[in-house]
Amino acid sequence: MRAAFSRELANAAARDERVLLLTGDHGYALFDEFRKACPGQYINAGVAEQNMVGVAAGLAKAGFRPVVYGLSAFVPVRVLEQIKIDVCYEQLPVTFIGDGAGLVYSTLGASHQSFEDIACLRPIPHIDILSPGDAGEMAAAMNFALGHDAPVYLRMGKADLGNVHRQPPVLRRGELLQLRRGRHAVGLVATGSMLKTALAIADEIDASVWSAPWIKPLDEQALAAAVGRCKALVSLEEHSVAAGLGSALLEALSLTHPLPLLRIGIGQRFSSTCGSHAHALREHGLDLASVRERVLPFAARWSAA
């Protein structure tokens, strides 16, 4: 997925000299192709992320299309005020890339784990939030972001778990992508790294599965039409259950098509131990076995209702 991001960015910069990449002293190997092809469009702003966002805002006002890259613990969390005032208030076409979202920097502890980035940005006006789950969704998300005349945050998990789409997907702003058709008692809506987990569990309970590459906005009418035959939903995300995908689904459906929804994500706690990404998922109950223990009884209840 990171390779797809780097490739799409390099291709866009080669086509359009207004596309600039700003990085806070990160991603050297990731951007080897970009720096070789477009050295004049690469800016290392150093360990000064807040200043980097201000620079990007100024460049956008001058007609450029800046892409601001950083670890999601820093972009957007460290630079939230600058995103809000410098970019979103002005509705500038700046694309923010938050790499290493969720628990993938598990060995570095709570300072580098990012499970609040979506929650921080959702209340801020004028910014789209995307959370692609594989290389195909990433490529489509990049194409949207670089052609959108407003701020975009693109959430990227560093751990690449493989593709879920057989063909390159077509993203429609605010809509879900159906990955599996099953019985419609229970539907699973997953984003990012949790797509593979959702598909594995859906095979056991014959549930429908949707990918949510768009967290904000959600098209309420399209969402209700997609899940309209379900009796209940499960959301899965490598993000806090507070103000993430699950919360967005509840809010979007609450007035027109309310459904019981089991939210699976990170609870109100920090990691207490360090280890691999798989270890961190187990600690927070996001590994396949832990998710199965929660989803199967919920699905059985609503399948029998």
Amino acid 142: pLDDT: 97
Which is it for the CA torsion 115, 176, 11, 88, positive or negative? negative
Residue-level pLDDT at 263:
98
Are 174 and 214 in contact by the 8 Å Cβ rule? The answer is yes
The Cα–Cα gap between 107 and 199 comes to 27
The list of the chain residues with pLDDT below 70 reads 158-159
Q: At a CB cut-off of 8 Å and minimum separation 6, what does 32 contact?
A: none
Q: What is the pLDDT of residues 144-169, one digit of tens each?
A: 999 999 999 999 986 677 899 999 99
State the pLDDT at residue 159.
Answer: 67
Residue-level pLDDT at 184: 79
CA distance 176 to 251: 15
User: What local confidence, expressed as pLDDT, does residue 304 receive?
Assistant: 84
- For 178, phi then psi, to 5°, come to -80, 125
**For the chain, which domains are there?**
2-156 (3.40.50.970), 177-304 (3.40.50.920)
* R_g (Cα) of the chain, nearest Å: 19
pLDDT given at position 49? 97
* Helix runs in 16-150, H state only: 32-37, 49-61, 80-82, 117-121, 135-147
- Output the average pLDDT for the chain: 95
Q: What does pTM read for this prediction?
A: 0.97
pLDDT on residue 27? 77
> pLDDT tens digits, residue range 255-300?
889 999 999 999 999 999 999 999 999 999 999 999 999 999 999 9
Does residue 302 contact residue 232 with C-beta atoms inside 8 Å?
A: yes
Residue 98 host element (H or E) = strand 95-99
